[in-house]
Amino acid sequence: MNHRERFLETLLFGTPDRTPFEPGGPRESTLHAWQQQGLEGSWSEVLYQLLDAKRGERGLAPAPWKPNQPITDLGVSFQMNPKFEEKVLEHKEGHYIVHDWMGAITEISDTYDYSYIRSPKDFVTRKWHRFPVQNLADWEERIRWRFNPKDPQRFPPDFDDRCARLRARDYPLIVSFNGPFWQLREFCGMENLCTMMLEQPDLIETMSVFWRDFGSEVLQVILDRVAPDMLHLSEDMCYKEHPMISPEMTERFCGPCYRQWIDQARSAGTELFGIDSDGHIGLLIPVWMEWGVNCVDPIEAAAGNDINEFRSMFGKKLSFRGGIDKRAIAAGGEALRRELARIRPVLTGGGYIPSCDHGVPPDISWQHFQEYSITLAEMTGWLA
């Protein structure tokens, strides 16, 4: 089986030859810590060499850790164009206050330069002072016109050639963009968005319908050329114990977006429809599933998500990616063994690609990450 076939067979509850090996990857601070702990070179290449050495000890040939084909990026942008001009408004007491590319006034430690606001290179705490949309006039004058779905700059000059290569791919193609909650949160801010759903629901509905139709138009250009293996929506709409908005609000303001995009992608041949949200997602899973979602990630253990309970509740209607408690990986030893034993029943039942339940943080040492990866490779059939 190639990487694409294995991905689909696993998440669609088929019969893969083994489960995809996806331990998770480090952010910038984690990689720096690992280098201080002795890592030299590419962390993934060093890890693959270690695992192949283990395979050799067991009389196995080196494994196909990578696809045979070079990975092609679609290069499609769902972001605003033009972006706002980035400006440092103030620098004091170890912080920058920045007018960022999304139109928000954001504060960030001067340990980082403000490009970290654009790119999730590390675990960076930010504080937001103001967002670009406070009312309908802000929406019309400051934001709406920046999202033209027919803007040719959304697609690379060689887009058709990229799609042609992707039609013959041996690795999964995942098309990912922001769901309505995530995107409207960028426009309004999280607290403002939640308040506006109560006090200005017509404005929220206006923006949600716009985002639905904008996403559909851009997505259709892709679907006319190549069918992704998964349509994946970024939402991050839950806290540690509860969602940020009620299931009823999710139905009203988000559900129509999910339905339209999922129906489009399904018509093109896509079979997997995922949502990524941190926090405790249990109350929202039934809502997402009602609109067609059949895969969730990263299933944070620290937020109280119980992957075994979810499997019991939803059976083979829902597959998973993630789910391994990052705190247990950091602890190593017996704590790690208990954690991997905890997720084993779900892994055995199919429909699950196990991985660290978020980006790999710097308190996970390079030694413990290798220990975890070796055991995970055994569990997923790569060191069997």
Q: Is 229 part of any domain?
A: yes
My answer on whether 209 and 144 are in the same domain is yes
**100 and 147 share a domain?**
no
Residue 260 lies in a domain: yes
Q: Determine the Cα–Cα distance for residues 48 and 62; give it in Å rounded to an integer.
A: 9
**CA separation for the pair 46, 183 (Å, rounded):** 37
The predicted pLDDT at position 237 comes to 97
DSSP class of residue 273?
E
Does any domain span residue 384? no
Same domain, 91 and 56: no
Query: Among 131, 152, 167, where does a domain finish?
Result: 131
- The whole-number pLDDT of residue 121 equals 85
Note the pLDDT of residue 114.
79
- Whether residue 345 lies inside any domain: the answer is yes
What is the per-residue pLDDT for 214?
Answer: 98
Same domain, 15 and 125: no
* Pair 14, 116 in one domain: no
Say yes or no: 198 and 208 in one domain. Answer: yes
> Which pLDDT score, from 0 to 100, does residue 117 have?
86
Q: Are residues 252 and 175 in the same domain?
A: yes
pLDDT of residue 330: 98
Rounded to an integer, what distance in angstroms lies between the CA atom of residue 191 and that of residue 370? 40
The span from the CA of 138 to the CA of 122, in Å, is: 31
Q: How far is CA 276 from the centre of its chain?
A: 5
- Return the closest-CA partner of residue 227 out of 268, 260, 168: 268
Residue 291, in any domain of the structure: yes
- The CATH number of residue 158's host domain is 3.20.20.210
Instruction: Give yes or no: residues 322 and 188 share one domain.
Output: yes
Same domain, 362 and 345: yes
Say if residue 109 is in the same domain as residue 170.
Answer: no
Say if residue 200 is in the same domain as residue 96: no
Kindly state whether residue 144 falls inside one of the protein's structural domains.
yes
Domain edge (last residue) among 67, 102, 131: 131
Is 184 inside a domain boundary?
A: yes
**Per the structure, how many domains does the chain have?**
2
Q: Which domain holds residue 19?
A: 3-82+132-379
What pLDDT, on a 0 to 100 scale, did the predictor assign at position 113? Answer: 84
On whether residue 177 sits in a domain, the answer given is yes
SS3 351: coil
Last residue of a domain, one of 131, 163, 191: 131
Q: What's the average pLDDT block by block, 10 residues per block, for the chain (384 residues)?
A: 98 98 97 98 98 97 96 98 96 94 95 84 91 98 98 98 98 98 97 96 98 98 98 96 96 98 98 98 98 98 97 98 98 98 98 97 98 98 94
Strands (E), the chain: 87-92, 95-99, 105-109, 126-130, 174-178, 230-234, 272-276, 295-297, 319-324, 352-356
User: Residue 48's pLDDT is what?
Assistant: 98
Residues 240 and 328 in one domain: yes
